[in-house]
Amino acid sequence: MENRDFWRWSEDVFVDTSRDWRSANIISCGIDVGSVSSKAVVMLDGMLYAYSIVRTGVNSSESAKKAFIPIEERTGLKLNNCNFIVGTGYGRVNITFANKTITEIACHGKGAHYAGGPKVRTILDMGGQDCKAIHIDSEGKVTNFLMNDKCAAGTGRGLEVLAELLEIPIEEIGPRSFDIDEEPEPVSNVCVVFARAEAYNLLRKGWSKNKVLAAYCRAIAERVCSLIKRIGVEPDFFVSGGISKNIGIVKRVERILGIEAVKSTVDAQIIGALGAAIFAKVLYEKSRG
Amino acid sequence: MIVSFGYMDGSGEYFITVDNSKCVKCASKPCISACPKQILEAITNDYDELVMAVKNEARNRLKEECSVCKPNTGIVNLPCISACPFDAIKHSW
Amino acid sequence: MFVVGIDVGARYIKAMVINDNKKIIVKKKLLSGYENNSLVKNLIKDLSEEAGINIDQIKKIGITGSGKETVDKEGIILSEVMSAAKAVYYLHPDVRTIIEVGAEESRAIKINSSGNVVDVVVNEKCAAGTGTFVELMARTLEISLEEFGKIALQSESRIPMNAQCIVFAESEVVSLIHSGVDRKDIAKAILDAIASRVSAMTRRVRVEPEVALIGGLANNPGFVYALKNNLEVDNLLIPYEPQYIGAYGASLLVLETVSLG
């Protein structure tokens, strides 16, 4: 078998070709430089127009520009055509061309409010290197916030390590974790470093890879729920971030919390950048009086 | 807004929670000087309120940093919580 | 009359034969694997051969370590805490705080003047406070464990490590290497980081002299230096063959049961 990069997920770009940015009044842009992925979102008059997701490189300032390029290539829209740019995310201080930077917490609140609807009150964001639980009010303003970015278990990086370990493409983890006869007990130790020995032991005991995946997804879901329960769950419930695409974890989280997540009208990985773009429009309007 | 600083790992959950709506009422923030490890600071949050926050570099080491005030045995009166006039601070462990 | 003490660790199995005068006749260390049961069976045979004794001269076998449950048909199961306390107190009765850093677990034990355990704190869920952290970082730096300890001692710098998880620390170390930071400074930063975690754990049972350090990482001079600084103690006692203390304690404990029985 050739050397596959099991941790590699697909980069993405979307443009609403039915609209033309040249005829828009306000072009607002949000850029979210995360530790693992960078996202750019463009809104025309408060409506989503385009977005792109790329892998963050070693340099966060370059990653911010890189995130916008796929949009520019497809639409001809340049960064300096945008009326207002808000930067957010882990690398936001390095987005030199942003008009303002806002924390990803506030941006996630606003973004979830737009993508999940005004009834969203609880947000779970599972990112590349962190996990966040956020409460928002009816306007999308943050009222409670908790984050874990110390421990890789339950983050994208942790899942990447698991994918490499079991030699399964990261996008297959979710579906395969349900292709089992019976839901196993969760693994006792979520530590990704100890996972190597623990996973080998399970495989040697005759467990299939799918069953091992299920046990890990369950353990990760439990610890994520532990985080959310610290601030409580109130409907509507919204899940964002890269791991929201992993049904192995999301479905189990829903099961444990006893609540189903509302559907997102956009790719859940861009919620931060989306919120930033919404803030950008508001700030631009404010600046014009 | 209620903000929690800290982390969870395999050994447990370690969070310091600050109720910003109570904290903003306090001008002097005596908790900051009360902390023997100097891990607290004053910041302006996303909603333009001057509140206390745990310094970035200490957030993922709370168990370690706070260990000076929290031995296994013995009575503990955390200096930060005792100093706060508005009961805005909570520790999860 | 002889007894055997075995410490089935996460990375190494340590074992020894002692006589009724508590003297260590022979000791051995080998990599633990997935078939610890057969490894231990052969180990006992090898030990008795090397000691020049017959297997039936071995009156009792004491087994401790994180893998003790996987070999329980072989002997008497003993806790790591009791084994550590037994051996350390026997060798150094003035010790009150014992710190053990193993491959996948670390613990701090408080004993009183009679050698009884009065407080324990264990870290077994997070790899960042264990030997595995150092091992992985050595691999990332592409140097041996022996090198690691030595070069860290040569560094005078104080670079803080922000990442608290091995997975993130690996990326942080790679960034530091790419930005041209000297390997010895990175090595020191890594040892400072784990020493800081181990000290914080120890403070939960209160640091009371004399303090002893046991387990594989006690053989790393860079780590010992970093830990001594972090604990702010005048003395950090390293018993003779710190990696074998668990096995020694297990043998001392079963020796007692033989004398009684």
Q: What is residue C112's DSSP assignment? A: -
pLDDT of residue A42 exceeding 60: yes
Residue A208 lies in a domain: yes
Residue spans per domain, chain B: 2-91
Task: Judge: A148–B8 Cβ closer than 8 Å, yes or no.
Answer: yes
DSSP letter string, A234-286: -SSEEEESGGGG-HHHHHHHHHHHT-PBPPPSS-GGGHHHHHHHHHHHHHHHH
Query: How is residue A181 written in tokens?
Result: 């006869």
Same domain for A92 and A137: no
pLDDT of residue A6 exceeding 80: no
**Mean pLDDT across the stretch A120-124?**
96
Say which of C125, C167, C175 has its CB closest to residue A189: C125
Same domain for A122 and A109: no
Architecture of domain B2-91: 2-Layer Sandwich (3.30)
pLDDT score at A162: 86
Find the domain containing A247 and state its range. 118-261
pLDDT score at A120: 97
Model pLDDT for residues A208-224, shown as the tens digit of each residue: 999 999 999 999 999 89
Strand order in the sheet with A237-240: A237-240, A122-126, A131-136, A142-148, B2-9, B12-19, B89-91
Q: How far apart are CA A147 and CA A105, in angstroms?
A: 9
- Most A-contacting residue of B5, B9, B49 (CB-CB within 10 A), to test interface: B9
Is the CB of residue A249 less than 8 Å from the CB of residue A217?
Answer: yes
Is the CB of residue C210 less than 8 Å from the CB of residue C109?
Answer: no
Say which of B60, B72, B73 has its CB closest to residue C164: B60
B68 interaction partners in chain C (CB closer than 8 Å)? 203
pLDDT of residue A3 exceeding 60: no
Model pLDDT for residues A229-271, shown as the tens digit of each residue: 999 999 999 999 888 889 999 999 999 999 999 999 898 889 9
Contacts B–C by Cβ distance under 8 A: 44
Task: Judge: B68–C203 Cβ closer than 8 Å, yes or no.
Answer: yes
Say which of C123, C163, C205 has its CB closest to residue B72: C205
Q: Could you tell me which residues come within 8 angstroms of residue C101 by beta carbon, excluding any fewer than 6 positions away?
A: C129, C130, C131, C194, C198, C213, C215, C216, C217, C218, C223
Q: Could you tell me which residues come within 8 angstroms of residue C55 by beta carbon, excluding any fewer than 6 positions away?
A: C44, C45, C48
Residue A32 maps to which CATH number? 3.30.420.40
Residue spans per domain, chain C: 1-92+243-261, 94-238
Give C236's pLDDT tier (boundaries 50, 70, 90): very high
Task: Judge: A230–B92 Cβ closer than 8 Å, yes or no.
Answer: yes
Share of chain C above pLDDT 70, in %: 98
Q: What is residue C127's DSSP assignment? A: G
Answer whether C1-92+243-261 and C94-238 agree in fold. Answer: yes
Q: Does B50 contact chain A (CB < 8 Å)?
A: no
Count of CB atoms situated within 10 Å of the CB of B91: 17
Q: Does C200 contact chain A (CB < 8 Å)?
A: no
Nearest chain A CA: its distance from B93 CA (Å): 12
Nearest chain B alpha carbon to C160: B57
Long-range contacts of A55-61 (CB under 8 A, 24+ apart): A55/A11, A56/A91, A56/A128, A58/C175, A58/C178, A59/A94, A60/A33, A60/A90, A60/A91, A60/A94, A60/A95, A61/A91, A61/A94, A61/A95, A61/A96
Nearest C-alpha neighbor of A31 from the set A74, A75, A82, A44: A82
pLDDT score at A2: 42
* Bridge partners, residue A38, by sequence: A33, A54
Task: Judge: C136–A193 Cβ closer than 8 Å, yes or no.
Answer: yes
Is the CB of residue C17 less than 8 Å from the CB of residue C6?
Answer: no
Say which of C132, C175, C178 has its CB closest to residue A193: C132
Same domain for A103 and A77: yes
Nearest chain C CA: its distance from B27 CA (Å): 31
Give A113's pLDDT tier (boundaries 50, 70, 90): very high
Q: How far apart are CA B23 and CA B44, in angstroms?
A: 12
Nearest chain B alpha carbon to C207: B71
**Mean pLDDT across the stretch A153-159?**
84
Mean pLDDT of chain A: 90
Same domain for A177 and A73: no
Share of chain A above pLDDT 90, in %: 65
pLDDT score at A5: 67
Same domain for A252 and A126: yes
pLDDT score at A7: 66
Number of domain units in chain A: 2
**Mean pLDDT across the stretch A9-17?**
85
Say which of C123, C199, C206 has its CB closest to residue B71: C206
Nearest chain A alpha carbon to B59: A150
Neighbours of chain C (3+ CB pairs under 8 A): A, B
pLDDT score at A11: 75
Q: Does B90 contact chain C (CB < 8 Å)?
A: no
- Is the model more confident about B83 or about A157? B83
Helix (H, G, I), strand (E, B) or coil at C175: helix
pLDDT score at C128: 87
Same domain for A103 and A199: no
pTM comes to: 0.83
Nearest chain B alpha carbon to A142: B1
Mean pLDDT of chain C: 92
**Mean pLDDT across the stretch B62-89?**
84
- Most A-contacting residue of C126, C137, C174 (CB-CB within 10 A), to test interface: C126
**Mean pLDDT across the stretch A71-90?**
94
Q: What is residue C210's DSSP assignment? A: S
pLDDT of residue A8 exceeding 80: no
pLDDT of residue A1 exceeding 50: no
Nearest chain B CA: its distance from C109 CA (Å): 12
Same domain for A212 and A245: yes
pLDDT score at C158: 86
pLDDT score at C32: 87
Is the CB of residue A30 less than 8 Å from the CB of residue A122?
Answer: no
Identify the residue whose tokens are 């990069």. Answer: A5
For the domain spanning C94-238, the CATH number is 3.30.420.40
For the domain spanning C1-92+243-261, the CATH number is 3.30.420.40
Task: Judge: B11–C123 Cβ closer than 8 Å, yes or no.
Answer: yes
Q: How many helices (H) and strands (E) does chain A have?
A: 8, 10
- Most B-contacting residue of C126, C158, C161 (CB-CB within 10 A), to test interface: C126
Give B34's pLDDT tier (boundaries 50, 70, 90): very high
pLDDT score at A4: 56
Q: Does B77 contact chain C (CB < 8 Å)?
A: no
Is the CB of residue A190 less than 8 Å from the CB of residue A223?
Answer: yes
pLDDT score at A95: 86
Mean pLDDT of chain B: 90
Task: Judge: C167–A152 Cβ closer than 8 Å, yes or no.
Answer: yes
State the complex-level ipTM. Answer: 0.87
